[in-house]
């Protein structure tokens, strides 16, 4: 089907939701249950993704009664291509890219492998100029979905963007 996007793993999809939720709620710790509710994700999947994002330095987590999570670095410093590389890299694009379990007899002579390599490079080249901040900045509809419902400062910011 022409124009159909590349399929992204559920892990990366959830990671992007988590990062956008944190970016939409600056200056406070957010909880896993808040993210689960607003982003339609299971807390089990979230726990795994949050742990991985924290290990990679994209999130800071705090345990305990008043715990939660927040961005581990400023949103303008979070490059979307880097997130996708970190989370998608363990998943081979096709069997012939697998280090183990590659049973394809065509690997050495297959031109499709070369084309897929070039396509993957183009995919990342498209994502590399985009930061988390660019996904969020002036995106009023996204901020209305992910931001706190009664936050006066957020409402003022939204009002100034729409004027």
Question: How does DSSP assign the chain, residue by residue?
Answer: -TTPPPP--HHHHHHHHHHHHHHHSTTS-B-HHHHHHHHT--HHHHHHHHHHHHHTTSEEEE-STT-EEEESS-GGG-BHHHHHHHHHTTS-SSGGG-SSS---TTTTT-HHHHHHHHHHHHHHHHHTT-BHHHHHTT-HHHHHHHS-TT-HHHHHHHHHHH-
pLDDT tens readout for residues 91-147 = 666 666 666 777 778 777 888 878 888 888 888 899 999 999 999 988 888 888 888
pLDDT tens readout for residues 25-48 = 998 999 999 999 888 899 999 999
* pLDDT computed for residue 93 by the predictor: 64
Q: Is residue 163's pLDDT more than 80?
A: no
Q: What is the pTM of this model?
A: 0.80
pLDDT tens readout for residues 118-128 = 888 888 899 99
| Residue 91 half-sphere exposure toward CB, CA atoms < 13 A | 12
pLDDT tens readout for residues 33-90 = 999 988 889 999 999 999 999 999 999 999 988 889 999 999 999 999 999 999 987 6
Top-level class of domain 10-162: mainly alpha
* pLDDT computed for residue 74 by the predictor: 95
Nearest to 93 by CA among 110, 66, 125, 117: 117
């Amino acid at each position: 089907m022409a124009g159909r996007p590349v399929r992204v793993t559920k892990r990366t999809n959830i990671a992007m939701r988590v990062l956008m939720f944190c970016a939409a709620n600056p200056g406070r710790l957010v909880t896993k249950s808040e993210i689960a509710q607003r982003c339609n994700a299971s807390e089990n999947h979230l726990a795994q993704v949050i742990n991985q994002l924290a290990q990679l330095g994209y999130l800071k987590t705090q345990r305990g009664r008043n715990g939660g999570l927040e961005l581990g670095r400023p949103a303008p410093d979070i490059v979307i291509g880097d997130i996708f590389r970190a989370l998608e890299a363990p998943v081979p694009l096709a069997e012939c890219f697998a280090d183990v379990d590659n049973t394809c007899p065509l690997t050495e002579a297959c031109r499709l492998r070369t084309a897929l390599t070039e396509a993957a490079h183009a995919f990342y080249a498209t994502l590399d100029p985009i930061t988390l901040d660019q996904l969020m900045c002036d995106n009023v509809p996204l901020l209305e979905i992910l931001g706190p419902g009664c936050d006066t400062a957020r409402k003022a910011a939204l009002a100034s963007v729409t004027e």
